[in-house]
Copies of this chain bind each other. A is one copy, B any other.
Amino acid sequence: MLDSPPATSGFAQLVGFRLAAWREGYAEVELDLGPQHMNVSGAPHGGVLATLIDTAAGFAGCHCAVPGHKRRAMTLSLDTHFVGRAKTGSRLKCIARQTGGGRNIFFATAEVRDETGVLIAQGGGVFRYRGNSGDPRGETSDDQHSGDPA
């Protein structure tokens, strides 16, 4: 469990995933699979797995060690391979690691596994820091009204 979990988005609440671990360059996101995550074939919808990868990979590049500060980013591109098949009732864990980047852009990859360790999906994303979030010290809320044109 996280000491200070980040604000929960509307989509996180809807889908039910949660940030389970977070440090510099690393994030874990968990989801307990229920029937509401499934496609008509009884497997997790591809969008569920892409959501976990996008979320965990984005968090991996946005950890901030300064209390009260935040770092924000937007996804530029996301790619996912659907490797295995998970079942209703599984707890999925998506582990993401930042692989590179700098003050403007970062790269991260992620793997989704079920509770037995089977690889369900694998992918990654390219992200752009918003405002001054490329600085590891992050921003205060007051800094965050600057625009972010692409």
Contacts and interface: CB of A to CB of B under 8 A. Distances in A.
Nearest to A47: B51
Q: Is chain A's binding surface mostly helix, strand, loop or mixed? A: mixed
Interface in A66-101: 72, 74-84, 99-101
A79 B78 contact: yes
A103 B104 CA distance: 13
Interface residues of A, number: 61
Contact of A81 (B39, B47, B77, B104): B77
Nearest to A35: B10
9 contacts: A11-B36, A45-B51, A47-B50, A50-B80, A77-B82, A83-B99, A105-B128, A122-B124, A126-B126
